[in-house]
Amino acid sequence: MKETDNAAKSEAQSEKAASRDAQYSMDRLSLAFETSARRWELIVYPTLFAFILLAAYGFYLIFSLAKDVHFLALSVDSNMNVMSSNLQTMTDSVGQLTANVRTMAVSVDSMAQDVRTLEPMLTSIDSMEESMKTMTLATYKIQHDMRSMNYNIHDVSRPMSVWSSFMPW
């Protein structure tokens, strides 16, 4: 019996040791889990806080962008209205310019008709020009004849030399 008691005791002691080892292993596992959880808390909580800050800033940026786009749309709309009225004014001005060019074309055609009407006058001006040329040539010949006559009066005869002093040429 002693042996059974010893075996039972030994078995009880080994169960106690196993229970203590299991308890020790569980304590170590719990401590490792707590350490790991603290490490994750040091990473996750600041990251979560930074994400919330970035999300709030992103919302602010999108809201500001939407407001700016709204003001831009209003500005472009008013500028388009002004540009539309200016284009209408420009269209009217181009229409007036076209009408003025047509009037000028009619005036140029009229001037061409007037020139055709003046052709007989131009012909008479041409004949006047020819007459002036003829008169100029005749005056030149008279001048030449007078010079030769003056020369003859001065140098040819001595008795005429008295008279030559009275002559203006």
Which pLDDT tens digits describe the chain residue by residue (169 residues)? Answer: 556 666 667 777 777 777 777 777 788 888 888 888 888 888 888 999 999 999 999 999 999 999 999 998 888 888 888 888 888 889 999 999 999 999 998 888 888 777 777 777 777 888 889 999 999 999 999 898 888 877 776 655 555 555 556 555 5
What predicted TM-score, i.e. pTM, was given to this entire model? 0.35
Output the CA–CA distances (angstroms, integers) from residue 71 to 60, 61, 75, 83, 85, in the order listed. 17, 15, 6, 18, 22
User: Given this model, what pLDDT does residue 165 score?
Assistant: 60
User: Given this model, what pLDDT does residue 37 score?
Assistant: 81
Cβ 169 vs Cβ 150: under 8 Å:
yes
Cβ 7 vs Cβ 15: under 8 Å:
no
Domain ranges of the chain: 2-84
Contacts of 149 (CB under 8 A, 6+ apart): 169
Nearest residue to 169 (alpha-carbon basis) of 137, 158, 152: 152
**CA dist., res. 167 & res. 153, Å (int):** 9
Estimate the crossing angle of helix 119-155 against helix 2-117, to 10 degrees. Answer: 60
Helix, strand and coil content of the chain, in percent to the nearest 5, comes to 95, 0, 5
Identify the residue whose tokens are 């010079």.
147
